[in-house]
Amino acid sequence: MVRVKTNIVTAVEIHGRNASDSKMLPALVTTTAENFQIAEVSADKGYASRANADAICETWRDSVYLLCSSHRGNGGGTWTKMYHYFQCRRNDSLQHYQKRSNVESTFSMMKRKFRDSLRSKTDVAIVNETLCKVLSHNLVVLIHEMHELGIDPVFWTEKAA
């Protein structure tokens, strides 16, 4: 998961090459909610499922923008509420929906800065290398935001003698 304004990666799940991203969304939302205040969740139609809608609304109760062109509003529960919300406020929903492209921007930032290949050979090393790239990305973004916002960090203070 990625913060919209800062492109900070807030949660990471790394599984095998053929793992389904959609099934990882509830864990990512839960992890993000432990450390950040979630204002909204934007995801493309690949994440549109009843399980994801329910998981997101357990963590965050306001509007969520999960869209699926084949859905017609049946199925009940959170899923139906999201569909009708989208239909009633289509233009507003589409503006929020465009924020999901920031995830792709974040991946692009990481690939430009740290290259798009991994040198590791074993599965454990590949996961560790990927996590290091994400951590490095977050540090770069943090340093950039410190300078952009004029924040002077205080890491420690001198003890009084």
**Rg of the chain on CA atoms, in Å:** 19
* Residue count (the chain): 161
Q: What is the pLDDT of residues 2-48, one digit of tens each?
A: 998 889 999 999 998 888 888 999 899 889 989 988 877 887 778 87
Question: pTM above 0.85?
Answer: no
Query: Is 7 or 96 the better-scoring residue by pLDDT?
Result: 7
Judge whether 66 and 53 are in contact, CB under 8 Å.
Answer: yes
Residues 6 or more apart from 60 whose CB is under 8 A from it? 29, 33, 38, 40, 41
Residue 21, token pair as written in the block: 């991203």
Cα 91 from Cα 86, distance rounded (Å): 9
